[in-house]
Structure 1
């Protein structure tokens, strides 16, 4: 009888212990769950903040320098006053307007007046590409009329003045390595202007400037008769191989002496065939 009471008491203690252990375990589990939930909430919140930060960075992924256009030279060159108070001469990257200063090309005055009316006295935002200045000390820049919210065709077309010149037919494309960030957009905009006879293309379907130049970082192309000694001229050396993109989108280069060489209005210039081929062009048949 006595042994039975001892066993019964032992079993009761075991039951109570099991109940207490279960209660503590549930409490810890609940606490762990709450901590995990809190951790998860923090993580989600953190992801959200990171997303917003990334979104913000994507809107400002280009480094811009604020400036005021203080003086106008021609269609693709202006003076600006930087926030530091420094005055600097700026050459617009990627486009080439007809000349209106050292020589007078068709549509040069129109392009010059357009730039003056749209930029002079205005606050702009300058974007640098891989190259900083040319051999004349001019800053090579993309000029934004307002800060882009993101980098896409619509923003470039409507807010970047370099592109606006191309879209409206005031400039031909001019690609000079290494500043090629927006070259594909400029090519598209110039082709669109040409197909719709806008601006200089309505005056001359072949264009009124030397157009695109690849392989030099020192300025824009000019007509061969211009002397490189002319003060403030924009001469540059480039290869003699002409690169062209046909209506099918094929990239073709033409060597001097080829059948269509003289008739080709180049969208790119190359020094060697290897350079042209590296850019995705093939030899004209």
Structure 2
């Protein structure tokens, strides 16, 4: 009787042990399957990551636009003139941005025909808006401004239709607010800008209606022949050089005339600070009363030394 009771207890204990092992095995299998299953949330969130050469951009409604080019999102917080703005990047950093490939008439330190119209147009179209910046081979100019193409919305393809309707540089050219200004190495869209400016000129739109030869004289950015650097940095002058100004051959008098576009054409510039590019190609400025002031040809005029220095000029060595 005792032996039968012992056998029954042994059998019951064996069954319990088998059931326990079976339960533990199923639990482990479930855990392994759970660990191997892809995390759906992680997979979905990866859609906003950038791929080299492309951008996947979320708008305020979380819809995603895939662009074939790499773009940097920014908000326009400041306005300078027709081809220069200030932006706040997504990381909170403020940058000045100079548009690549086009040049609008001046409206700040000097006033060129159609300059105010171009400046007001850019402000009305971009100020306070979200834009998308595309860089080319060169990243900044000698003033430290970012050199960028400005997209008002991400392009879905790179073709004439998208460029004409979504790139603000091209819109300025097409509507006659800017002339083409191609500077190596930033030439990605140069052929488009040439075509759009040609159309505007042929149809006398904007500045081309004011003057068939255009109205701009450039804004001091280096020409292709003067620099092959992507940063367009100017060369620092030697402290020991002698100064030789480029003279105005027409007169040595203080009554030289000066045009709105710079140069000796109208007496309205008398007494102002003269910005001059000397025989060595250096940008210097003269205060009224300086030794060479009266016989120096002015490339630009300034009201203050701060304006001259901001435009890249240095004082003459006395």
Q: Same fold (TM over 0.5)?
A: yes
Runs (4 or more) in structure 1 with deviation over 4 Å come to 56-59
Structure 2 distance, partners of 1:97, 1:234, is 19
Name the structure 2 match of 1:214.
224
Q: Secondary structure at the match of 1:155?
A: helix
Select 1:162's aligned residue among 169, 183, 187.
169
Instruction: Give aligned pairs, total.
Output: 180
After superposition, the Cα gap between the structure-2 partners of 1:234 and 1:195, relative to the gap in structure 1 and judged at 3 Å, is farther
List gaps (5 residues or longer) in structure 2.
1-50, 57-65, 234-259, 264-273, 276-282, 286-307, 314-318
Structure 1 distance, partners of 2:112, 2:73, is 32
- How far does the alpha carbon of each residue in 1:123-168 deviate from its partner, in whole angstroms, 9 at most, with x for none? 0000000000011110000000000000000100010000000000
Structure 1 distance, partners of 2:94, 2:210, is 35
Select 1:114's aligned residue among 104, 107, 121.
121
Name the structure 1 match of 2:133.
126
More helix by share: 1
Structure 1 distance, partners of 2:262, 2:184, is 21
Q: Secondary structure at the match of 1:130?
A: coil
Q: Displacement of 1:224 after TM fit?
A: 6.2
Q: Work out whether residues 84 and 99 of structure 2, in 8 Å CA contact, stay in contact via their aligned partners in 1.
A: yes
Name the structure 2 match of 1:196.
203
Cα RMSD (Å): 2.7
Q: Displacement of 1:61 after TM fit?
A: 2.7
Q: Secondary structure at the match of 1:214?
A: coil
Matched, 1:186 2:264: no
Name the structure 1 match of 2:184.
177
Structure 2 distance, partners of 1:57, 1:113, is 31
Structure 1 distance, partners of 2:179, 2:168, is 13
After superposition, the Cα gap between the structure-2 partners of 1:155 and 1:234, relative to the gap in structure 1 and judged at 3 Å, is farther
Q: Secondary structure at the match of 2:309?
A: coil
Select 1:80's aligned residue among 79, 87, 103.
87
Q: Displacement of 1:214 after TM fit?
A: 2.8
Structure 1 distance, partners of 2:152, 2:196, is 18
Select 1:232's aligned residue among 310, 313, 316.
310
Q: Work out whether residues 97 and 148 of structure 2, in 8 Å CA contact, stay in contact via their aligned partners in 1.
A: yes
- How far does the alpha carbon of each residue in 1:178-209 deviate from its partner, in whole angstroms, 9 at most, with x for none? 00000000000000000000000000000001
Q: Displacement of 1:233 after TM fit?
A: 2.3
1:52-71 maps to which residues of 2 (within 5 A)? 60-71=67-78
Matched, 1:153 2:163: no
Structure 2 distance, partners of 1:234, 1:207, is 25
Name the structure 2 match of 1:39.
none
1:261-276 maps to which residues of 2 (within 5 A)? none
Select 1:91's aligned residue among 70, 95, 98.
98
Q: Displacement of 1:210 after TM fit?
A: 2.9
Structure 2 distance, partners of 1:89, 1:57, is 22
Structure 1 distance, partners of 2:262, 2:147, is 23
Q: Work out whether residues 81 and 118 of structure 2, in 8 Å CA contact, stay in contact via their aligned partners in 1.
A: yes
Name the structure 2 match of 1:103.
110
TM-score w.r.t. structure 1 length?
0.58
TM-score w.r.t. structure 2 length?
0.53
Q: Work out whether residues 131 and 152 of structure 2, in 8 Å CA contact, stay in contact via their aligned partners in 1.
A: yes
Q: Displacement of 1:118 after TM fit?
A: 0.3
List gaps (5 residues or longer) in structure 1.
1-52, 236-285
